Amino acid sequence: MLSILQSFGATAVNVGTHSWKIVAEKIENTTIPKDLSKKIRASILFAGPLLARAGKAEMPPPGGDVIGRRRLDTHFVALTQLGAHVEVNGKFVFTANKLAGTDIFLDEMSVTATENAIMAAVMAEGSTIISNAASEPHIQDLCNMLSAMGADITGTGSNILRIKGVGRLHGCEFTIGPDYMEIGSFIGLAAATHGSIRITGINPPDLRPMRIGFNKLGISWTVEGSDLVFPTVQELKVNTDIGSTTPKIDDAPWPGFPPDLTSIMTVVATQVEGTVLIFEKMFESRMFFVDKLINMGACITLCDPHRAVVSGPRILHGDNLVSPDVRAGMAMVIAAMAAHGESRISNVYQIERGYEHLVDRLRSVGAHITTVDVK
């Protein structure tokens, strides 16, 4: 993302641990290089701000995880309603003589489409209403940062955003909130390995949706200020629904259970007593990694591309694995740490772009893990 910014003529300077100073006073280019766009799904997020700033943007289709069809129609519809023209011909070309506020109803609660619409609308003429907007914590971060830069946004945290366009934004200093998907991954890691962990710097309200899912597997934690304390002693037993029926962990837009944690929960469920249904509704290829877990000894029945029934606990055995995407890759790391014997995981680029300094941090909590170069 920083490299893409720099390709536009912006400067990005590291000014401390996890701190960057970005200056985009001059935009000299509005075309995203293909080699950068294909590396990351979030490259599409430059469409909204470039339209607001320069009235044009050109980019190849974005890359990212292969977890099923990831439609971009919602982006195009939202930006078109704000006054943009979109051409799709092997690449995306966005142009706009003028962006004008309007009443938008998104056809899905897309996180990135909501973000693109917000970034375009804050500098559009007039007022914009975005209904059926996604409202995840990182969208709230974006709204709060834009407000600190001079934007006029109300409804932050809800699925209806009201934005009054402003002529200009100014700089600000902003601290990005903690990544609740990463926190959930480390909770899953501690549960699957029967360990304990303290995670500092959390935002407790962000964890309420995932707590419901973990509780179904007999997993709990306590909060001490901004620390999460996960004790070694856990029930690790599926809590059946009323009538002793099999419970379901299913994902949904915020504030539902996070889709990015269904892969993690699938691995955790292999180490829990009882049977649970994992229902991943949003992407039709995300559950296809479970065959690797079955090879390791897991008892999983893949009902269809979206549903898997997991029964446990089962002893897992080390295996040679390939990371298909960032969350399934992290799930494989957890499975490998819970398994007997040695595992080798390739394509770890997919994992490390979502979990900074992962190997060092896992070592710090007792993992036997190393990175090796394969030629």
Confidence category of residue 353, pLDDT binned at 50, 70, 90: confident
Residue ranges covered by each domain of the chain: 2-164, 180-364
Catalytic residue among 65, 260, 319, 325: 65
Mark residue 170 as left, alpha or beta (left: phi above 0; alpha: psi -120 to 50; beta: remaining): beta
83-94 b/e (C-beta count within 10 Å ≥ 16 → b) = bbebeeeeebeb
Confidence category of residue 311, pLDDT binned at 50, 70, 90: very high
User: For residue 46, which of 68, 66, 24, 67 has the smallest C-alpha distance?
Assistant: 24
Q: Please say whether the beta carbons of 22 and 3 come within 8 A.
A: no
Tokens of 246: 């099999």
Range 2-164 has CATH code 3.65.10.10: yes
Query: In the predicted model, what is the mean pLDDT of residues 186-215?
Result: 97
Question: Could you tell me the CA-to-CA distances from 236 to 45, 241, 337 in Å, in that order?
Answer: 40, 16, 17
pLDDT at 69: 47
**Percent of the chain with pLDDT strictly greater than 90:** 86
**Percent of the chain with pLDDT strictly greater than 70:** 98
pLDDT over 90 at 50, yes or no: yes
Residue 156's contacts (CB-CB under 8 Å, 6 or more residues apart) are 140, 143, 144, 147
pLDDT at 70: 58
Gyration radius of the chain over CA positions: 22
Three-state DSSP class for residue 166: coil
Q: What is the full DSSP assignment across 59-126?
A: EPPP----SS----HHHHHHHHHTT-EEEESSSEEEE-S--B--EEE-SS--HHHHHHHHHHHTTSBS
Say whether 65 is catalytic.
yes
Q: What are phi and psi of 178, to 5 degrees?
A: -65, 150
∠ CA 174-180-182, nearest 5°, is 105
Residue 353's contacts (CB-CB under 8 Å, 6 or more residues apart) are 40, 326
Query: CATH homologous superfamily for 180-364?
Result: Enolpyruvate transferase domain (3.65.10.10)
User: For residue 163, which of 111, 109, 110, 104 has the smallest C-alpha distance?
Assistant: 104
pLDDT at 283: 77
Q: What is the full DSSP assignment across 123-153?
A: TSBSEEEEES----HHHHHHHHHHHHTT-EE
User: For residue 343, which of 292, 308, 300, 299 has the smallest C-alpha distance?
Assistant: 292
How many angstroms from the chain centroid is the CA of residue 44?
15
d(CA 44, CA 27): 17
Residue 119's contacts (CB-CB under 8 Å, 6 or more residues apart) are 45, 48, 49, 52, 142, 146
Tens digits of residue pLDDT in 358-375: 999 999 999 999 999 876
pLDDT at 349: 85
pLDDT over 50 at 67, yes or no: no
Q: What are phi and psi of 78, to 5 degrees?
A: -65, -45
Query: In the predicted model, what is the mean pLDDT of residues 258-276?
Result: 97
Do the domains 2-164 and 180-364 sit in the same CATH topology, yes or no?
yes
